[in-house]
A and B are shown apart, each in its own frame.
Chain A
């Protein structure tokens, strides 16, 4: 422990920063449950659980992500594993026939069905900013969500408010968990969510009969337990001080670190680097664009501007000690997200600004000490 204290001192990380960092990290250290042969048994059972998938303030990106499912594929999901009784983008029925299907499932399988929600829910002006069949999204979520056996929020909007909740949040958009206090909501943020994390969550539920272990922001540890920066294929370039300086320059073509181009990987928890997208084809950093931090609770406001450095340390350059800088970023960003990660949910721009100011303060504190 004393070695660790020395290390903290060497990196000029204040006790205040460190405690905040620990509180953020505590929940993330649990080992994800191992996937066992029981999984196969569960998904092959013919007792397909009913699913009600609802879209509110969404762009349908998470549904499109569902269509890219591979293990199992969306065809297998629909025919063999789930009973997708309500999904507006996919279902054959429309209008009151569609509504009848939703209500029949909610009644017949009360307390048992899986409720998946895509898009944020507008609470402003008594909910008039989103209605389905003349009913507000708020009322529908309260009704269908309350009686569900499992609730999954897919994408950043339904998890934390996402884009519609970005300042000035014109419609009072919130994530699902805010409307269902006391209910367990599994958040699968990402813009969109990576479908492999949804199938992983469902398979976990079918296999073990419970929700997977989650962090303090309701994200499953098996998918969001590690920082992007720590698993990044370009980490060695960061450590070696090799950075992309301009789009298309030698470093960009050679796959160097995108930190200076605004990459938010050091502040983001998601399994993009290991899981990748579209069956492992690629992910943003691999294709030459920085991470934007889309799976974090404060997204968009705490992560933008997209090409601004995180943090924008004055005088930061390739000659600086990468290890020191790395440690600083980790401590500062984790600290802020620990205390203010959910600021967007409060729809309070003042708090967003405070969170950002505090990040700068911590960074300044630590970099000043270094100098």
Chain B
């Protein structure tokens, strides 16, 4: 008999996600994904200065804290036909690159690892054997018996206090936990090391963009960090040296800790290479422009669409094929909920019709989420590192194919295992590795350009709104850590008339569409074994493999609403 369970809150993610699932004979037979928080940022954006939009949209999410700024300024630059200087493109690449690296690192060690690593088991590990394990997988400097003894003592003293803090009620001793005690101790040590490394390497964003989270440095037309090798108030040789130092630090950790950890842990969980694939439709917008002609040309990471896991056919992306449905979302369309709308033509009137809180279950037959249902060519898509790596792999991207083949070879499996929970986690690691090796290329390109005497960081031609056309519209794409991100903006008389964002987690976390087709989270949970419905660790594994970001995902679009036009102050 079917047993319906609820996991709310799904923790170790950004934001508010709830999963309801039915379980029969120890396997998930159906699932519903619901976002339970709504802010309405796009309505707030209406009638404001398009040059300010990046600052508002940046606050869609403080985890992937740069991505909505970039998509926003690109959308406005597209609308106003602005090309940004080469220095600014390279600075953007560096900021995006370190965002991906740091975000993936935090995801693996602090959001995802506790699904696979048993912290309590680490207390029974032999530090000497742990040291031997560490030394066998990489030349990482923290590998002595004394070191692991120290980590174990520290965690042991913590556990002895009886106050486990964030580790209270974890899934310790769960049947699905498979790692030997020594691997658990090693992972706990790396959990703590990664906490330190992530806050160091992200200083690249502070150098280039004043602070992190929420770097304050983006401009429509460029970036606000000046470049001048002969000034102490601009990007100069000293700041470049600092950036290079953090790139080296990131590279060392990724190559000697992150990748070896994934390769060491994966063999214990190879069953997860056959679980969690979902629809197997993948979308990547492509990103990281490298040429002189700037965005959106000469991408390092290619764009493409893959359907039904067919790696022999990578199709080009056509943004006109994107629509959003609200059949199962707490919004209404004026022409009826059965028809999808393209972001330029869409509309949203938010209206909660769910159960009155406090509630036990959502009304999943009707509307049940604040996330809309985006579809590409009417199909649900997965976006994120796996989609990027698959599109690049199938397109013959050299760094990606080399690295993916290396990882698959070490694990002794074929590319078909990538369509899974484990594949998602492995793809994120692969991407981190190639990204950390790419960073210095962008820094070198920036340096070479500065050397020519080009210090430009901003294109001023269209800064003054009096130079703008009366009406304009544009879109900006970005490959964020969590996947394909698009912003669409409509500008009337210097102000925002409409703003729409279709973000990575909207794609992945969407509820069903009018045809009843599940979103990718929902589909990926089907067939997942659940050893203990009271402790549904397996649901967390697949959900976390997507790296959900819910605050981003919930947004709205207001077409022709009756907002009082705002007086320009000061």
Contacts and interface: CB of A to CB of B under 8 A. Distances in A.
A129 B38 contact: yes
A173 B114 CA distance: 34
A208 interface: no
Interface stretch (A14-22, A27-35, A50-58): A50-58
Contact of A287 (B217, B563, B568): B217
Interface string B32-46: 000011111101100
Interface in A207-260: 246-248, 252-255
A60 B61 contact: yes
B463 A247 contact: yes
A144 to B, nearest CB: 14
A83 B165 contact: yes
B231 A312 contact: no
B106 to A, nearest CB: 7
A302 to B, nearest CB: 8
B39 A93 contact: no
Interface stretch (A2-10, A69-77, A197-205): A69-77
Contacts of A315: none
Interface stretch (A145-153, A180-188, A277-285, A317-325): A277-285
A85 B168 contact: yes
A90 to B, nearest CB: 5
A123 interface: no
A47 to B, nearest CB: 9
B140 interface: no
A233 B85 CA distance: 28
A367 interface: no
A64 interface: yes
Contacts of B168: 85, 91-93, 101
Contacts of A307: 49, 51-52
A56 B166 contact: no
Given A98-B11, A248-B222, A287 B209 contact: yes
Contacts of B210: 277, 282-289
A170 B203 contact: no
B570 A359 contact: yes
B165 A82 contact: yes
B166 A92 contact: yes
| Highest count of chain A CB atoms <10 Å: which of B14, B37, B110, B161 | B37
Contacts of A63: 62-63
B458 A128 contact: no
Given A100-B169, A170-B43, A247-B222, A133 B9 contact: yes
Contacts of B458: 246-248
Nearest to A50: B163
B429 interface: no
A132 B161 contact: no
Range for the number of chain B residues in contact with chain A: 35 or more
Contact of B198 (A67, A82, A93, A353): A67
A288 B36 contact: no
Interface string B1-30: 000001111111111100000000000000
B196 A73 contact: yes
B357 interface: yes
A287 B48 CA distance: 25
A107 to B, nearest CB: 14
B544 to A, nearest CB: 10
B225 interface: yes
B171 interface: yes
B536 to A, nearest CB: 7
B157 to A, nearest CB: 9
Nearest to B456: A248
B130 to A, nearest CB: 19
| Highest count of chain B CB atoms <10 Å: which of A63, A166, A310 | A166
B352 A125 contact: yes
A166 B44 contact: yes
A14 B119 CA distance: 65
A288 B225 contact: yes
B169 A101 contact: yes
A37 interface: no
Contacts of A284: 210-211, 216-217
B59 to A, nearest CB: 5
Nearest to B167: A92
Contacts of A127: 357
Contact of A305 (B43, B44, B52, B110): B52
B142 interface: no
A186 to B, nearest CB: 20
Nearest to A191: B214
A201 B105 CA distance: 29
22 contacts: A58-B551, A65-B62, A74-B195, A79-B155, A83-B163, A84-B166, A90-B11, A94-B10, A126-B357, A129-B38, A164-B39, A247-B219, A247-B224, A255-B234, A277-B211, A278-B206, A284-B210, A284-B217, A287-B224, A287-B225, A289-B210, A305-B48
Interface of B: 6-16, 36-41, 43-44, 48-49, 51-52, 55-56, 59-63, 65, 106, 110-111, 114, 119, 154-155, 158, 161, 163, 165-171, 192, 195-196, 198-199, 202-203, 205-214, 216-217, 219, 221-222, 224-228, 231-234, 350, 352, 354, 356-360, 455-458, 460, 463, 535-536, 540, 551, 563-564, 566-570
Interface of A: 46, 48, 50, 55-65, 67-70, 73-75, 78-79, 82-85, 87-95, 97-101, 122, 125-136, 139, 163-164, 166-171, 173, 191-192, 246-248, 252-255, 277-279, 281-289, 292, 300, 302, 304-312, 349, 353, 356, 359-360
Given A92-B12, A169-B44, A287-B216, 16 more contacts: A55-B16, A59-B63, A59-B551, A85-B165, A93-B171, A94-B7, A94-B9, A101-B168, A135-B358, A163-B44, A166-B56, A168-B563, A191-B214, A254-B228, A284-B217, A308-B569
5 tightest A-B CB contacts, nearest first: A61-B62, A255-B233, A92-B170, A170-B40, A287-B210
